Structure 1
Amino acid sequence: MENPTRQAAISALLDELATNCERPFGDARAMPPGVYTSAEFLSLEEREIFSKEWQCVGRASALGKPGDYLTASIANQPIVVLRDEQMGLRAMSNVCLHRMSVLLEGRGNIRRIICPYHAWNYGLDGGLKGAPLMEQQSGFCKESYKLPAVRCEEWQGWIYVTLDQNAQPVHTQLAQLSELIDAYGMTDYIETFHEEHVWDTNWKILAENFMESYHLPMLHRATVGPHSRLEEMECPPGYPAFNYHWITKEASLPIGNAHPDNNRLTGHWRKTTALLAVYPTHLITLTPGYFWYLVLQPRGVGKVHIRFGGGLAPEFITDPEANAHMATLKSLLDEVNAEDKRGVEAVFRGVNAPLAKPGHLSHLERPNYDFARYLASKLAAR
């Protein structure tokens, strides 16, 4: 039974969030502090968002041969995504059907999924192939065991999973986004690095930081800030499943603009960067020459697990200077991430302060307003 006092506090917080979202954008404020600090609010997110929405877990190109796998967790459910023997993409529960140990960790390549506890082992289709000494139990039937499947789809080269069997297909939910960015050919971009980190902040603070470029001149004054002019940024209204904004400029790095061999992009698109936020947690910077991304997973209200990766457009992959370009980009992104980490951890300390109070949003923070409206729409239906 829910604690009435806590339930009343959550209802009041949701009312405050909804009231702000009902304001016209010109009068909108940042979200209230409790959205970031309340454990009950996070529990509501786990139930109404993370257990139902499509969530990205990485690039399909990272799973290049049979047995390649990656692991993730959505709404406290460990999952594994792998290439089967026919090079099909499969997702399934990453929990043993015997005594419920987690099976695989990280990324790698396997012939079978072997439980580290009692060596029950499963094929790449999830079916149980072996269980030591279990034939001595008359009630045991190996054929009755198969790891539960999890819905898995690919969009623009990304792997998405969901626990909701009734969710609309990813390509349907993101149809408008496909129309906006198809000319980039993001499906063919190749991931060249992948890392995982944990930062001391709330997942939404990091998501919002990515969604707006208003902070670039100040927070990133030692890196990309001097090249960031606020008047170059366009922040159109978002859509139900995503928001986005554009920056059109002559890039400071050669790979920020289209390669001479790129015949997909024309005119200003050859030097336009798209910043994409696919709800709830997939954040992409897509340029004509490279991409980088964050995929977020909350670890309580004050920590967020981050999948951080990036790579090059196909023309730069085949360019003789590809390695040098990617090394330069990775070095820059590491510095930018360090600046962002300081910024979002400072915000988390601030939202916990007794006198913290949200202020008006800039016109360049339209994506943050749309993100708040997304959260309100999902959580109000509780």
Structure 2
Amino acid sequence: MAKDQIDPVEALRQNTAQPFESARAMPPEVYTSDAFLSAELDHIFRRDWYCIGRADALANPGDYATCELAGQPIVVLRDRDGTLRAMSNVCLHRMSTLLHGRGNTRAIVCPYHAWTYNLDGSLRGAPAMSLNKSFCKEDYALPAIRCEEWLGWVFVTLNPEAQPVAEKLQQVAAMVAGYDMTNYTEAFYEEHVWDTNWKVLAENFMESYHLPVCHAGTIGGLSKLEDMVCPPGLPAFNYHTILKDDALRIAMAHPSNDRLHGVERRTTFLLALYPSLLITLTPGYFWYLSLHPRGPGQVHIRFGGGMSDDYAGDADAQQNFSDLKELLDRVNIEDRGCTEKVYRGLCSDAAAPGHLSHLERPNYDFAQYLMAMIEAGRAAARP
């Protein structure tokens, strides 16, 4: 049967029915099919939480960030009372999008006809509307979107019934409590688009099996496969850990950190919070990717990172982090090359999934999550 005739959801169902001990990578159709992307947008990105970044990037009244979630333009901002809120980023007049990128604003002004909204979404004013007898500005307010902050991360969802983030991720919070993720400050933020499927990049993060080869020019020599621990994942996330040595001091717990002990002080967590927030969390610094599909063959990436506030008073910490950022940029170039090659291979008629290594346990759990969400979404949509 030709690949374009295979039901990708059924292919994934058969794939995830296997136990991990005999598991294979996900079928190519799961990455390349428009039909599977449609199922993901409907049953995953419209139903689960999506991370737009860090709360400290939205610290002041008027600070905002925009995103597009499953085709819906959204703005998240800090209002004048200090409340973090999300709302539709579409003007209620002729439906232009309003704000773009990230920044700070005193009010939300439509770039088309200058309808102006307050930071709480209410309409402040609209020019040249006085002759329309039925117009009343009090009738207009940008629709609210669910928005929650968790350990310094900002999430939005289109699903009014989604489980609160703190409940969904309570096991993560307990596991990394000694890192105190609330007290990490974002030092850089970028957005990128790569020519690969979003799941290829997510899976690339979830396994460190590729580090010695893909990253031979940067961190590969420091990555010992025997030190990687890949436990079974949980319904809302998976993770694996790597031990760092003190060659990179800012990856270690700061001497003032009395929350972490023993080997914890040099343990790095690689957290994959479903569907698409990927966090490298060390005791001293963090970096993250938040992914959203742009068609089967492109992924939009929100990329940021920074230091633990434990290091805020250290004179050399910022220079050390600047050096780390240069390294991360080189690592990203390597990851882009690897993941774009994988997508090109997935599009081949010869593409066939091979068996997974024990170091790819998170990939197996990710496939289980995808299947469960699509099945639950389809069930909920039935009359």
Q: Shared fold (TM-score greater than 0.5)?
A: yes
Q: Which among 253, 256, 259 is matched to residue 254 of structure 2?
A: 259
Q: Which among 338, 347, 368 is matched to residue 363 of structure 2?
A: 368
C-alpha distance after superposition, 1:57-82 (max 9, x if no partner) = 00000011100101011111010001
- Answering whether residue 220 of structure 2 is matched by residue 230 of structure 1, we say no
Residue 37 of structure 1 corresponds to 32
Task: Answer yes or no: is the 8 Å Cα contact 1:227–1:252 preserved in 2.
Answer: no
Unaligned runs of 5+ in 2: 379-383
Identity rate of aligned residues, in percent?
60
The structural deviation recorded for 1:13 is 2.1
Match for 1:247: what amino acid?
I
Task: Answer yes or no: is the 8 Å Cα contact 2:179–2:260 preserved in 1.
Answer: yes
Residue 187 of structure 1 corresponds to 182
- Answering whether residue 43 of structure 2 is matched by residue 82 of structure 1, we say no
3-state SS of paired residue (1:136): coil
Q: Which among 114, 124, 128 is matched to residue 129 of structure 1?
A: 124
The structural deviation recorded for 1:322 is 2.1
Task: Answer yes or no: is the 8 Å Cα contact 2:311–2:317 preserved in 1.
Answer: yes
Residue 278 of structure 1 corresponds to 273
What are the within-5 Å matches in structure 2 for residues 60-75 of structure 1?
60-75=55-70
Q: Which among 354, 372, 375 is matched to residue 377 of structure 1?
A: 372
What are the within-5 Å matches in structure 2 for residues 224-373 of structure 1?
224-373=219-368
The structural deviation recorded for 1:251 is 4.4
Residue 381 of structure 2 corresponds to none
Once residues 186 and 137 of structure 1 are traced to their aligned partners in structure 2, the CA distance between those partners, rounded to angstroms, is 52
Report the TM-score when normalising by structure 1. 0.96
CA RMSD of aligned residues (A): 1.3
Residue 19 of structure 1 corresponds to 14
Match for 1:175: what amino acid?
Q
Residue 164 of structure 1 corresponds to 159
Residue 115 of structure 1 corresponds to 110
Once residues 60 and 200 of structure 1 are traced to their aligned partners in structure 2, the CA distance between those partners, rounded to angstroms, is 29
The structural deviation recorded for 1:16 is 1.9
Residue 208 of structure 1 corresponds to 203
Once residues 288 and 85 of structure 1 are traced to their aligned partners in structure 2, the CA distance between those partners, rounded to angstroms, is 34
Greater Cα shift, 317-326 or 209-218: 317-326
The structural deviation recorded for 1:9 is 4.3
C-alpha distance after superposition, 1:242-297 (max 9, x if no partner) = 10011123143111111112222111100000000011110000001000000111
Unaligned runs of 5+ in 1: none
Match for 1:367: what amino acid?
P
Q: Which among 93, 99, 105 is matched to residue 94 of structure 2?
A: 99
Q: Which among 180, 186, 192 is matched to residue 197 of structure 1?
A: 192
Count of paired positions: 376
Residue 146 of structure 1 corresponds to 141
Once residues 350 and 320 of structure 1 are traced to their aligned partners in structure 2, the CA distance between those partners, rounded to angstroms, is 47
The structural deviation recorded for 1:241 is 0.8
Greater Cα shift, 312-321 or 300-309: 312-321
Once residues 108 and 241 of structure 1 are traced to their aligned partners in structure 2, the CA distance between those partners, rounded to angstroms, is 31
The structural deviation recorded for 1:351 is 0.2
Task: Answer yes or no: is the 8 Å Cα contact 1:28–1:361 preserved in 2.
Answer: yes
Residue 55 of structure 1 corresponds to 50
Match for 2:242: what amino acid?
I
C-alpha distance after superposition, 1:337-362 (max 9, x if no partner) = 00000000000000000011000000
Task: Answer yes or no: is the 8 Å Cα contact 2:244–2:251 preserved in 1.
Answer: no
The structural deviation recorded for 1:318 is 2.1
Match for 2:34: what amino acid?
A
Match for 1:160: what amino acid?
F
Report the TM-score when normalising by structure 2. 0.96
The structural deviation recorded for 1:154 is 0.5
C-alpha distance after superposition, 1:206-249 (max 9, x if no partner) = 00000000000110011110000001010011111110011123
Once residues 160 and 336 of structure 2 are traced to their aligned partners in structure 1, the CA distance between those partners, rounded to angstroms, is 36
Greater Cα shift, 65-74 or 258-267: 258-267
**Aligned CA distance change for structure 1 residues 85 and 52 (closer, same or farther; 3 Å):** same
Once residues 214 and 263 of structure 2 are traced to their aligned partners in structure 1, the CA distance between those partners, rounded to angstroms, is 27
Task: Answer yes or no: is the 8 Å Cα contact 1:190–1:317 preserved in 2.
Answer: no
Match for 1:295: what amino acid?
S
Task: Answer yes or no: is the 8 Å Cα contact 1:232–1:249 preserved in 2.
Answer: no
Once residues 16 and 62 of structure 2 are traced to their aligned partners in structure 1, the CA distance between those partners, rounded to angstroms, is 46
Once residues 200 and 249 of structure 1 are traced to their aligned partners in structure 2, the CA distance between those partners, rounded to angstroms, is 31
Match for 2:286: what amino acid?
F
Match for 1:20: what amino acid?
N
Once residues 252 and 124 of structure 1 are traced to their aligned partners in structure 2, the CA distance between those partners, rounded to angstroms, is 46
Once residues 136 and 147 of structure 1 are traced to their aligned partners in structure 2, the CA distance between those partners, rounded to angstroms, is 23
